[in-house]
Amino acid sequence: MKETAKFGITYTPISDKSNTFVTYSDADHSGNSSTLKSTRAYVVKMETGTVDWQSKLQSIVALSTTEAEYLSVVLAGQTML
């Protein structure tokens, strides 16, 4: 932590609308070759700065790319609530 004490997150307005949150999510289908589980990830941004993110192995095996992506979107949506 000592080495990064001078670093920080900056937020620069990108429009007239302040405090706009944008969420991105993604998943790979069966990315883990031994368990066939997918990795899901999301990032939440406020204007130009990241305020939350996560990348995690899904707890179940998705049967399709669509299901893996859906599970990732649901995780991101739960975070926004």
SS3 74: helix
Query: How many domains does the chain contain in total?
Result: 1
Residue 74 structural domain: 20-80
**Selected residue with higher pLDDT from 33 and 19:** 33
Residue 18 has pLDDT above 70, yes or no: no
Evaluate whether residue 67 is within a structural domain. Answer: yes
User: Cα(59)–Cα(57) distance, rounded to whole angstroms?
Assistant: 6
Report whether pLDDT(67) > 80: yes
Residue 50 has pLDDT above 70, yes or no: yes
- Give the pLDDT mean for 48-75: 87
Residue 59 domain flag: yes
Look up residue 23 and give its DSSP letter: E
| 7 belongs to a structural domain | no
